[in-house]
Structure 1
Amino acid sequence: MPGGRTVLALAGVMSLDSADQSTIGSTSPQVRAALHIGQTQIGLLATSSTIVGVLVTVPFGVLADRRNRLALLRICIGAWILATAAVGAAPSFAYMLGAHCVLGLVTGAAAPLIASLVGDLVPRSARGRVYSVLLLGELVGSAVGTALSGEIAASVGWRWAYVVLAATGSTVLLTVFAVREPPRSTARTALLAETGADAATMTLWQAIRVLVRIRTNVVLVLASALGYYYFTGVQTFAVSLWRDDYHVSAKVAPILVLAVGGALAVGVVIGGPLGDSLLRRGFRSGRVIAVLVAFGGCVLFLVPALSTTMLAVTVPLLLVAGVLLGSANPPLDATRIDIVPPLLLGRAEAVRNALRDGADASAPLLFGVLGSHIGLRPTFLVMTGALVACLLLGLVALRTYAGDAAAAAGEPVDSNA
């Protein structure tokens, strides 16, 4: 794999944020008892780092296109380690909340910095595989945060869970120090030449005007936001769905959630290489085809799965739907890298990240409101409309991707693409 050591280091970075978010939930019973707080304060802890991430992601996107990206990541990881240790030592909720806000640095910085590095480090034919590794890192971090932190909190105390998390962050920091900054692409595309401005120095608004002219970028940003919107809502209420609608016990419900999570991981492993393989076999829009198959197949299995309360039917169908949904993400992420000029990748990913996280913030609320009126299972069914919208947007991208990818690479654009 191109840049294997660097890719593994970046996967470690992605695992940190997901591990932190999962640790909040898995240690919440002990934290609430120790600090005499309620569920609202726990929710605020989780939200605080996300809000900070949204606020800082665009500035980091600008820096990603102009400064040493690995140096920025090292600074952010160092701050994250100190903040994580501070959370574990927090004598009060206010202290803990302040430390959690600092954790948002990794949330905001990771996406634009990693996208820019992948664009310069990895050739187009291998980006799907690389994003499979990166997304697996995120899933592993989430699983470790949920299982390991919860076990540590129950066995020796919640503060030790954050000590172990900080130690893990130190390991990731060492791996990032061990890799070198790749050279930046100097490709001068026709799209940038038309603006008359230098990509590295153009203002954010100039960059956004260039990005919205890339049709595939616009539709894929929308598709990504909708896909994550659905996933965030489902993730929030998955255990409640099993308990309330399928009458599963408190012990079995988390196991089913983990099983679906495992299916998502299998899909992540499959999706990236599949898109790369189609591209190498001469399908110029092979990645988009992989995304369309994933979203379309997911809806076909998800709707009948949620249309019945028979576990023997629902569980197998949901597992297949999980594999298909997971397989959409690596080629979707790689496609966004393909279609943006390299010198704008940081800002492009920052804008997408801000829009996605901003939309995600409202997903649990909408799912909760609908669930209280019509029930969770009907809510999950109704909200599959977001995945149908992703499928329709993918059909648009199927027509525009090949030309936009060629233009971003500075290649001649086939008018028939």
Structure 2
Amino acid sequence: MINRENLVNLEHWLCSEYEQIEYRFSQYLPNRARVVIILAAVLGVASANLAALGALAHALETALHISDARFGLVGTVASLSGAILTLIAGVWVDRRKRVRLLAIFAGSWALGMAASGCIPGYLELLLAQVVVGASGISVGAVVASLTGDYFPPSQRGRIFGLIVGGELLGAGIGMLVASIVADLLGWRFAFWSLALLGSLGVVVIRRYLREPQRNTMAKIAIGSPSPSRADSAPARSHKVADLIRRMAISPYPDRVMHEDPTCWPWIRAARYIVTIRTNIILVLGSSASYFYFTGLLVFADLYLMQRFDLPADTASILFMGLGSGGIFGVLLSGWLADRLLHRHIVAARVWVAAGSFFLTVLAFLPAFLLPSVWVAAPCFFLAALFLGATNPTLDAARLDIMHSRLWGRAESVRNLVRYTLVGLAPLMIGLLVGYFQKSGDQGAEALGHAFLLLLILLLIAGLAMVFAAFTYPRDVATVLASEGAPLPVTSDAEHPQAQVRESGD
């Protein structure tokens, strides 16, 4: 029997251990690394929902007595509701304190997950997932805006690589935690365990994140030093802005802002955002990447089982191993783009994304055609690596071409497109599989042909990136002019070259 003295000693020991961990986290981890870890972890937890739903599919269908179609609607409702409600969240991100908003969204996500574990029926699960979807998707807009002000443009490729890597890792952890806890304690405890992670995220956000100043880009635009709060070292160079000035790239005169867009009405802000051609291309390219990734997430296990005659457990383990290539891709692409930027390639981020799309297509082609799992597996791994490599550079490039006071609303427009496609991906792939089955294909053959056909989307995205690489520099110049940079505004400027080399950087 545990007496009161033992309980007091246990409480004292736990408090002492917590204080030691907190001290080490604050003192020995650089502020910049601490911010990256927190943002990546929060985004990772928020992305765990759909993966967890997939792991709990059988348990929920049995407990709630629902069909596969009705269960599939749960994920679709979560994605589409979040895509719509994030439009409101984008306005708040541009006008209110973002760290507080991040904590609120993380808390709402945790409450939605806790409610999902308490639901008595199917309708209540749908309503709870509306809260989860809206909160989780809104987290992405806050994280993007904070990243833009925490870190200088020259570092954003690597930073987004780490953050997007956290998002992918979070999806994997969500699937793993949900599977283990559901097997041991039941599906309700699986939801509650994820809700606990979200609650811990709220505590960490409130304790360790500080609101950065919003005038970071304005300082960069006028050429003054602006060391980030997330990095104690002075910012040596803001490469994108420096290259734009050295190359004397002129902005688009009709899109240079002469007022603060923070309080613009939503319609006016959205109209401005969608008129930026480079932004539209980057958003559609990123959405195509996530569309394909979602299709793989839903159907890859089934494809591996049918194509290579593997048991379910083996197929799941193989899929997780091959999918880990995506994490390597997001880490490598951001680093590579920033290195090329330091080599004076002004549109390096867009060029890296274009190359990643083309390499993804080249890797997936043999992967879906080869008959042996041992030969196809390396191709699938490389394809996952290149597919993951498309996103961090696009995330960084979108901030480069958007006024800092529109980052939140621009991300909400992107999320509307992305999550609409993500929500429709399983349905559209299912329709393609049905079409090929009617044409005589069976099982894995129909799935493989569907994924091969959808590679056209990634090929088109890569070609569009090539076009965006030539419009990107002038869009960056337009942002700098709008933020206050002393750039000439001329209507007859020659189109800049995408690659310039200078000596003595």
Please tell me the TM-score bracket, short chain as reference.
over 0.9
Distance in 2 (alpha carbons) for counterparts of 1:103 and 1:192: 40
Cα deviation, residue 109, structure 1: 1.1
Aligned-partner residue type, residue 435 of structure 2: H
Q: Is 1:312 the counterpart of 2:377 in the alignment?
A: no
Alpha-carbon distance change, 388 to 204 in structure 1, aligned in 2, over 3 angstroms: same
Conservation of the 8 A alpha-carbon contact between 2:94 and 2:408: yes
Q: Counterpart of 2:261 in 1: which secondary structure?
A: coil
Report what 2:356 is aligned to. 294
Cα deviation, residue 386, structure 1: 0.7
Distance in 2 (alpha carbons) for counterparts of 1:207 and 1:85: 36
Q: Is 1:397 the counterpart of 2:468 in the alignment?
A: yes
The unaligned stretches of length 5 or more in structure 2 are: 1-29, 222-250, 437-445, 498-505
The unaligned stretches of length 5 or more in structure 1 are: none
Cα deviation, residue 194, structure 1: 4.5
Residue deviations 1:117-147 (CA, integer Å, cap 9, x gap):
1222211111111111211211121111111
Report what 1:130 is aligned to. 159
Deviates more, 1:378-387 or 1:241-250: 241-250
Q: How does 1:338-377 map to 2 (within 5 A)?
A: 338-374=400-436, 375-377=446-448
**Cα-Cα RMSD:** 2.1
Q: Determine which structure has more spread, i.e. the larger CA radius of gyration.
A: 2
Report what 1:256 is aligned to. 318
Report what 2:68 is aligned to. 39
Cα deviation, residue 65, structure 1: 0.9
Alpha-carbon distance change, 3 to 87 in structure 1, aligned in 2, over 3 angstroms: same
Cα deviation, residue 66, structure 1: 0.9
Deviates more, 1:331-340 or 1:80-89: 80-89
Q: Is 1:72 the counterpart of 2:101 in the alignment?
A: yes
Q: Counterpart of 1:384 in 2: which secondary structure?
A: helix
Distance in 2 (alpha carbons) for counterparts of 1:299 and 1:171: 40
Cα deviation, residue 334, structure 1: 0.8
Report what 2:139 is aligned to. 110
Cα deviation, residue 23, structure 1: 1.4
Q: Counterpart of 1:292 in 2: which secondary structure?
A: helix
Alpha-carbon distance change, 324 to 197 in structure 1, aligned in 2, over 3 angstroms: same
Q: Counterpart of 1:377 in 2: which secondary structure?
A: helix
Which of 199, 205, 215 matches 2:267? 205
Report what 1:184 is aligned to. 214
Conservation of the 8 A alpha-carbon contact between 2:86 and 2:412: yes
Which of 385, 390, 398 matches 1:323? 385
Residue deviations 1:22-51 (CA, integer Å, cap 9, x gap):
111212222233333332332232222212
Which of 255, 278, 281 matches 1:216? 278
Aligned-partner residue type, residue 203 of structure 1: P
Q: TM-score, normalised by structure 2?
A: 0.78
Deviates more, 1:149-158 or 1:242-251: 242-251
Conservation of the 8 A alpha-carbon contact between 1:2 and 1:122: no
Conservation of the 8 A alpha-carbon contact between 1:9 and 1:175: yes
Aligned-partner residue type, residue 101 of structure 1: V
Report what 1:97 is aligned to. 126
How many equivalent pairs are there? 417
- Identical positions, percent: 34
Alpha-carbon distance change, 143 to 192 in structure 1, aligned in 2, over 3 angstroms: farther
Conservation of the 8 A alpha-carbon contact between 1:52 and 1:108: no
Cα deviation, residue 3, structure 1: 3.8
